[in-house]
Structure 1
Amino acid sequence: MSTATETAGAVAAPTLAVWKFASCDGCRPALLDCRDELLAVAGRVRIDSVPEAAGGVAPGPYDLSLVEGSITTPEDAARIRDVRARSRYLVVLGACGSSDGIQALRNYADVADVADGAFQGRVGAAYPSPLYLSTLKYSAPVRDHVKVDYELRGCPVDRGQLLEVITAFLSGRSPAIPDRSVCHECEARGAACVTVTYGAPCLGPVTQAGCGAICPAFHRGCVGCVGSARQARTEAMALLLLAEGCAPDRLLRTLMPANPANPANPADPGHRAPGLAVARTAADEAAGREREEGRREP
């Protein structure tokens, strides 16, 4: 992409860099999908690092760094600190970087068990050497390692919101991104509440808006792929779903999959640990009742 013409005494164009960490690679291509819209700002910014669009990486410093992915290895942790040190502003893109993403599923397993093949008894075929699993104890959002100036949630991020974030930081203002839950999007499009109408567990109340309530529009509960809302009250939601008759094991499966944030940081506003604790307790109590009833049968 062309840069602003720089003449003697002219002010250099702001620099933009894009970085990848542990992710599915879905958010950075969203930037390339905005190529037509980005032409409007092409003369105002110099892109120093976009792996998919450029062959090299300028050394920096950068005015704005866009970071995709969570931090899962010691190398990731060192690299994100280096990116932070070279960036005036650091913006996290997507659910992986803000709520930990799919790779956080490994936080429910013991890395040592996986390394020695004890996990489900079949890991040895995929990982012939424990060295392939040199990793941090937990996969974690970027904010658990460095200061983050803004988090744009999404899976992948919405192109309109991405353009708004880039334009806002170039203009020196705060991004105008709605800070609300998926429930508001259900109301806006007239979709019925799947929990009230169909009795299905739904993570809409604790998930950041941005997807347009796609799953609830098709009578399916929200799975939280966009990422946790900034104040996710998972404990209250879990208690309400149990009171409405949701089976404890189903609630547990609903809360566990993706974007749980960092288990080592319970103070994280997007953490699902309180809700998971409620679901696990209820599931354990239900299992205990079943065992007791089994012993009473003749």
Structure 2
Amino acid sequence: MKPRVAVHKFASCSGCQLAFINMGEDLITLTELVDIVHFPEAGPLGPEDAVDIAFIEGSVTTPEDVDRLKGIREHCGYLVTMGACATSGGIQALKNNADSDAWLKSVYAKPEYVESLSTSAAISRHVAVDFELWGCPVNVRQISWVVRQLLTGVEPVDANEKVCAECKRKNTVCVLVSKGEPCMGPVTRTGCGALCPSFGTACYACYGPAEGINTEALGQRFIGLGLQPAAIAQKFHMINNAADEFDSAGKSWAAKQEVSNEHSS
């Protein structure tokens, strides 16, 4: 009997499920190794089936999500989160530092009928997670690699080095140095293959915080490029805004902007 795999969706854009599907021929190869019993984007439905590996896309935003997540954890051997939403709360976590009731009222005509938590939280805030795949979205190599590692009893290694290291390996010219663009590569983990810098564009921090980062030093470099503290705060408060390192950095630079405003008024 082949190992069983499930792919579950919570609050998200489904981009990571699409990345899963975009494995193409590799997905066919994967199905020769495992049985995919639940995958809403691709068709199979078995949300309560017991599986060896459960992949989860999306963040927890409703009370129902919490209950469903606990059930998934009980019925799987390994639980792997994939993508920014599942690993850090995603874009929707921007509401964590705002008035969530006001947000609901601005969007829905009858907000009293909407059951929503005041925060958008990573899966690990509610249940134990065995491995995290960062990215927005994740790439196909990550998915195939982690399945093979887990099925052979090998503990996956967290690739948390910086995008800058990837640029050096690819001989990509540094856009921060050569073009003066506020690139987030020095604080962002690799995984995308340094995609944006390869095309001469600054990194957007899609893959979350890397190891041993210095957010204060990077912010000061951005000041030297002419950015205001508020703009620097927004750099950190984007796709992975609720990741601990980016959350604290964004709040720190936002506070610097408030101080600057007070001095200028």
TM-score, length-normalised on structure 2? Answer: 0.89
Q: 1:175 and 1:181 mapped to 2: Cα distance?
A: 18
Q: 2:123 and 2:47 mapped to 1: Cα distance?
A: 22
Deviations 1:188-237 (A, max 9, x none): 22233333333332221222211122222333322112223355543443
Is the 2:189–2:211 Cα contact (8 Å) retained in structure 1?
yes
Q: 1:192 and 1:285 mapped to 2: Cα distance?
A: 36
Q: CA 1:78/1:251 → structure 2, altered by over 3 Å: closer, same or farther?
A: same
Q: How large is the RMSD of aligned CA atoms in angstroms? A: 2.3
Question: Which of these residues, 61, 65, 70, is aligned with residue 72 of structure 1?
Answer: 61
Q: Which residue of 2 aligns with 1:52?
A: 41
Is the 2:63–2:116 Cα contact (8 Å) retained in structure 1?
yes
The secondary structure found in structure 1 opposite 2:33 is: coil
The secondary structure found in structure 2 opposite 1:272 is: helix
Q: 1:277 and 1:58 mapped to 2: Cα distance?
A: 38
Q: 1:289 and 1:49 mapped to 2: Cα distance?
A: 57
- Cα displacement (A) at 1:180: 1.1
1:30 matched to 2:4? no
Deviations 1:147-191 (A, max 9, x none): 111111122211112111111111111235633111112222223
Larger deviation: 225-234 or 20-29? Answer: 225-234
Which residue type is aligned with residue 27 of structure 1?
Answer: C
- Cα displacement (A) at 1:240: 4.6
Which residue type is aligned with residue 281 of structure 1?
Answer: A
Q: Which residue of 2 aligns with 1:288?
A: 262
Question: Which of these residues, 182, 185, 209, is aligned with residue 201 of structure 1?
Answer: 182
Is the 1:238–1:278 Cα contact (8 Å) retained in structure 2?
no
- Cα displacement (A) at 1:68: 0.6
Q: CA 1:113/1:55 → structure 2, altered by over 3 Å: closer, same or farther?
A: same
Q: 1:160 and 1:278 mapped to 2: Cα distance?
A: 35
Is the 1:66–1:90 Cα contact (8 Å) retained in structure 2?
yes
Task: Give structure 2 stretches of 5+ with no counterpart.
Answer: none
The secondary structure found in structure 1 opposite 2:53 is: strand
Q: 1:195 and 1:107 mapped to 2: Cα distance?
A: 31
1:127 matched to 2:108? yes
1:154 matched to 2:135? yes
Q: Which residue of 1 aligns with 2:195?
A: 214
Deviations 1:245-277 (A, max 9, x none): 532222122222221126xxxxx4xx3233123
State the percentage of identical aligned residues: 37
Higher helix share: 2
- The 5 A counterparts of 1:65-214 are 65-115=54-104, 117=105, 123=106, 126-175=107-156, 178-214=159-195
Q: How many residues end up aligned between the 2 structures?
A: 265
Is the 1:66–1:92 Cα contact (8 Å) retained in structure 2?
yes
TM-score, length-normalised on structure 1? Answer: 0.80
Larger deviation: 164-173 or 176-185? Answer: 176-185
1:20 matched to 2:12? no
- Cα displacement (A) at 1:283: 1.0
Question: Which of these residues, 236, 241, 248, is aligned with residue 274 of structure 1?
Answer: 248
- Cα displacement (A) at 1:289: 2.9
